[in-house]
Structure 1
Amino acid sequence: MTDTDADVDLGTVTAPSGVLVLGMAGWIDYWPQVGPPLSERAGEAAAAGGGHLYGPGGAGEPTAWMCEAIAVPAAADRPLPVRARTSESPFDGEPTVAVLEVGLGLPWPGGASVRLGDLPVDRCGMVLGDARALDGFVGLDGDSTDGLADVTYWGRYGDDVHALFGGERIPQHAGHGPRGWLDLPLAEAEAMGERLETWTREGPGKGLMVAVDAHSDFHLFNRAGWNHPLLAGLIDVGGCPVLGLGWDPGDHSMRHNGERVAGQVYPATLEPRAGETVLRWTIPPYTPEEPEEDD
């Protein structure tokens, strides 16, 4: 065991609809395009004790690069604690999720553990929250939920831009982070982004990266995890605390790249713990492939 092996408290979520969903964050807002709303499909699965949802109709085998989620029944009247067990990333030695576990606030009915299905690690992250609230989740390319946006810049000419335009350093767990401005009115943010891109285009040329991120739910949960070692953060969606869980791009590339098409999927189960039911998603620690021996 390394010093990265630890239990980490990730806070609490709620499920006032009585249905909790763990899904691929890059696809949460895509469910209406492949069938009934997420909450309807999740409710049916939860009524049967829990299940694996995937588009378009849930028939046959899950399709690579398509929305997937696990839906389970959960207590509607109390916070649901979330924790992670970590292991060492082969990419940079930092902690990464090995087990995600959610207390569902329901008594264990007895019997053996129940395998619900399996999920890939979405390169865009995972989201955990109330099924009905997630019907309103504003995804990757969605509009700002509050009329605000963030502008960040980084790269070769960052110091020159800072001297000319300003912008505060935005701390992040993985390093110093970019510079920029948070919580600007959307029109002001777009104008600032255009100013920076125009300066780069008409001046030194390539070498500066500029991002203008509207406050979609997707961006806000990523932002909430900037300073967390597991890139985990809670935001409000539809009046419910919802957990976003990101993945370092290098760690994802080494451990989860290819996702379902490459067989990189991991089991979600219902398990007993202290007489109560927990949802557990287990990602085995990385095991490097053994080199082939020469004949």
Structure 2
Amino acid sequence: MAETDIDLGIVTAPSGVLALGMASWIDHWPRLGRPLSERASAAASIGGGHVHDGFCEMAAVPAARDRPLMVRAGTAASPFDGGPTIAILEIDLGLPWAGPAGDQPIMLGDLPVDRCGMVLGDALALDSWTGDGHPSTDGLADVAYWGGYAEAAQRQLGGELIPRHGSHVRGWLDLPLDDAKKLGDALNDWKGDEQGRGVMVAVDEHTDFQRFNRASWTHPLQIGAIEVAGCPVLGINWDSGDHSMRHRGERRFGQVHPVTLQPGLTGQTTMRWTIPPYAPGHDRAE
């Protein structure tokens, strides 16, 4: 059973449209034609729906423009390490329930769990999202390194311990981009033994994608709250081991989960994304 009503924070939707999409592809929508906000608005205009173009997917719904929208989660134990992971995501949309009698949920479609996380926020604000691979938006970057020789590398090259998702990497935060790239090159060239083994290195330029990941490093459910185009937005990460066991393959292997509209406890409309727990013996075909 999932534990419910864990507050994750708030988002806003001043455009009147809220979108839940795959973090890998938020900034790819205009490359395929119309911007994310136009596609989301079209879905919201008919009460909400699932939008899919190539690898890009989202669920988009109408939402109140004039108030914060509460986001909650229910959790279940991960089959990977037993830790809590999101099984239910609920968003209060701030609008009265206008669905069918009997409070039956309205099916909007389904979504896969993106290995790079999910993003929840105002559809118009997400048009300005800067994804992985976008140039740094502030001229800064973070450098991280890890591995069996990380301690030896730290003694020679420096860096601080950085807590990240329950473990530590070493590195530097908020460096000028040129300095970050030089450190990254030095770490890649550094050898820890006669066999030429060194450390794993990442140079992450500051983008919205990196900011939400960084904001999630110390959250127990890997939730990253950031601001995009003046709107509070939530990024939702999953442990890579948990993703591999429950969601790997994503839509290609049928790893998709239902998104519904349903009435909340106070008669308001709620969007719910339900991710069932791992069931041994129901693995996808390879």
Match of 1:224 among 212, 215, 218: 215
3-state SS of 1:91 partner = coil
| Contact 1:5-1:88 at 8 Å conserved across structures | no
CA drift of 1:41 comes to 0.7
CA drift of 1:278 comes to 0.6
3-state SS of 2:211 partner = helix
Q: How many residues align?
A: 279
CA drift of 1:172 comes to 2.2
Q: Which residue of 1 aligns with 2:157?
A: 165
Is 1:288 matched up with 2:277? no
Q: Tell me the amino acid that sits aligned with residue 167 of structure 1.
A: G
| Contact 2:149-2:192 at 8 Å conserved across structures | no
Would the alpha carbon gap of residues 204 and 165 (structure 1) be closer, same or farther in structure 2, given more than 3 Å must change?
farther
| Contact 2:188-2:198 at 8 Å conserved across structures | no
3-state SS of 1:97 partner = strand
3-state SS of 2:14 partner = coil
Can you give the 5+ residue segments of structure 2 that lack an aligned partner in the other structure? none
Q: Which residue of 2 aligns with 1:148?
A: 140
Query: Between the two proteins, what is the percent identity of the paired residues?
Result: 62
Q: Deviations over 1:148-195 (max 9, x none)?
A: 1000111121111111121110012322x1011001111111111112
Q: Tell me the amino acid that sits aligned with residue 99 of structure 1.
A: I
Q: Deviations over 1:182-229 (max 9, x none)?
A: 011111111111121222399762231111000111111111101112
3-state SS of 2:34 partner = coil
Residues in 1 aligned to 2:261 and 2:26: alpha-carbon distance in whole angstroms: 22
| Contact 1:235-1:243 at 8 Å conserved across structures | yes
Would the alpha carbon gap of residues 190 and 290 (structure 1) be closer, same or farther in structure 2, given more than 3 Å must change?
closer
For the aligned residue pairs, the C-alpha RMSD in angstroms reads 1.7
Q: Which residue of 1 aligns with 2:3?
A: 5
CA drift of 1:290 comes to 7.5
Can you give the 5+ residue segments of structure 1 that lack an aligned partner in the other structure? 57-65
Residues in 2 aligned to 1:210 and 1:83: alpha-carbon distance in whole angstroms: 35
| Contact 1:151-1:211 at 8 Å conserved across structures | yes
TM-score for both structures, normalised by structure 1: 0.91
3-state SS of 1:70 partner = strand
3-state SS of 2:38 partner = helix
Q: Tell me the amino acid that sits aligned with residue 19 of structure 1.
A: V
| Contact 1:5-1:95 at 8 Å conserved across structures | no
| Contact 1:149-1:186 at 8 Å conserved across structures | yes
Q: Which residue of 2 aligns with 1:63?
A: none
Would the alpha carbon gap of residues 290 and 232 (structure 1) be closer, same or farther in structure 2, given more than 3 Å must change?
closer
Q: Which residue of 2 aligns with 1:275?
A: 267
| Contact 2:120-2:234 at 8 Å conserved across structures | yes
| Contact 1:22-1:71 at 8 Å conserved across structures | yes
Q: Which residue of 2 aligns with 1:25?
A: 23
Residues in 2 aligned to 1:110 and 1:126: alpha-carbon distance in whole angstroms: 27
3-state SS of 1:85 partner = strand
3-state SS of 2:93 partner = strand
3-state SS of 1:156 partner = coil
CA drift of 1:132 comes to 0.6
Q: Which residue of 2 aligns with 1:71?
A: 60
| Contact 1:108-1:277 at 8 Å conserved across structures | yes
Q: Which has the higher strand share?
A: 2
| Contact 1:50-1:73 at 8 Å conserved across structures | yes
